[in-house]
Amino acid sequence: AQKVTQAQTEISVVEKEDVTLDCVYETRDTTYYLFWYKQPPSGELVFLIRRNSFDEQNEISGRYSWNFQKSTSSFNFTITASQVVDSAVYFCALRRGSTLGRLYFGRGTQLTVWP
Amino acid sequence: NAGVTQTPKFQVLKTGQSMTLQCAQDMNHNSMYWYRQDPGMGLRLIYYSASEGTTDKGEVPNGYNVSRLNKREFSLRLESAAPSQTSVYFCASDARIRLARDSPLHFGNGTRLTVT
């Protein structure tokens, strides 16, 4: 069975702080894909990143970085120097080995960044 | 360049009423999905259609029916709405991933449904 756990329900930080959102996943597949989505207060789902199971290289995109560790089945997301506009619900998701098919979502982490 | 279009955006129903949520995509995708989002629960799959003419249950199918009318359209029907079906509903269609920056799913903007 596939499962994604985001243990942090809510996180509050003050602007310019760094914040890490945790994601732990479970799958027996050897090939799989991991994703992060952002859902701002307006409600749409914004794709942030995809990572393949065979590529453990960490990625940085501006203030965002992702740490993928297969040994701990984790795919954590860090925002450096957070801004008020980062306030949103963030979802981690898993897709099985095929490039098509459903996504299994975590329950999401509500991030609030205070000015 | 519409992508995935859901209608309506908002709806209020009384318990026992029926309604159909419409979804259409113009990207020639084979697979389509209906998810519901509830506070603290993430997105849960209701039904999906891997290809035209096929539909399958997801995690939470009870109280819903779906129709894959053609390749473009995938509708979700509530035959007798219940307050437990108050939720935000997202339709999505599948994209073939070519680039790392591509999202695997194209989501509609959601339908906010309230059942009183």
Q: Which residues of A touch B110 (CB under 8 A)?
A: 43-44
Task: Nearest by CB to A108, from B42, B90, B94: name it.
Answer: B42
Q: Which residues of B touch A5 (CB under 8 A)?
A: none
For range B94-114, the mean pLDDT: 79
Residue type at position A110: Q
Q: Quick check: B40 and A106 CB within 8 A?
A: no
**Inter-residue contact A101 to A113 (CB < 8 Å):** no
Q: Quick check: B100 and A100 CB within 8 A?
A: no
Residues A57-80: pLDDT tens digits?
888 889 999 999 999 999 999 999
Q: Quick check: B105 and A103 CB within 8 A?
A: yes
**A:B CB pairs within 8 Å:** 54
Q: Which of B37, B56, B89, B102 to mutate to test the interface with A (most CBs of A within 10 A)?
A: B37
The predicted pLDDT at position B50 comes to 87
- Interacting residues of B42 by C-beta distance below 8 A, sequence separation 6+: A4, A6, A91, A105, A106, A107, A108
Residues of B at the A interface, defined by Cβ within 8 angstroms = 30-31, 33, 35, 40-45, 48, 50, 58, 88, 90, 94, 96-97, 100-105, 107, 109-110, 112
Q: Which residues of B touch A107 (CB under 8 A)?
A: 40-42
Lowest mean pLDDT among A50-59, A65-74, A92-101: A92-101
The predicted pLDDT at position A100 comes to 63
Cα of A52 to nearest chain B Cα, Å: 9
pLDDT at residue A49 above 80?
Answer: yes
Q: Quick check: B105 and A106 CB within 8 A?
A: no
Determine the Cα–Cα distance for residues A36 and A49; give it in Å rounded to an integer: 5
Nearest residue of A to residue B43 by CA position?
Answer: A105
Nearest to A66 by CA among A22, A111, A13: A22
Task: Nearest by CB to B48, from A99, A102, A106: name it.
Answer: A102
Residues B37-83: pLDDT tens digits?
998 889 999 999 988 889 999 999 999 999 998 999 999 999 999 99
For range B103-116, the mean pLDDT: 91
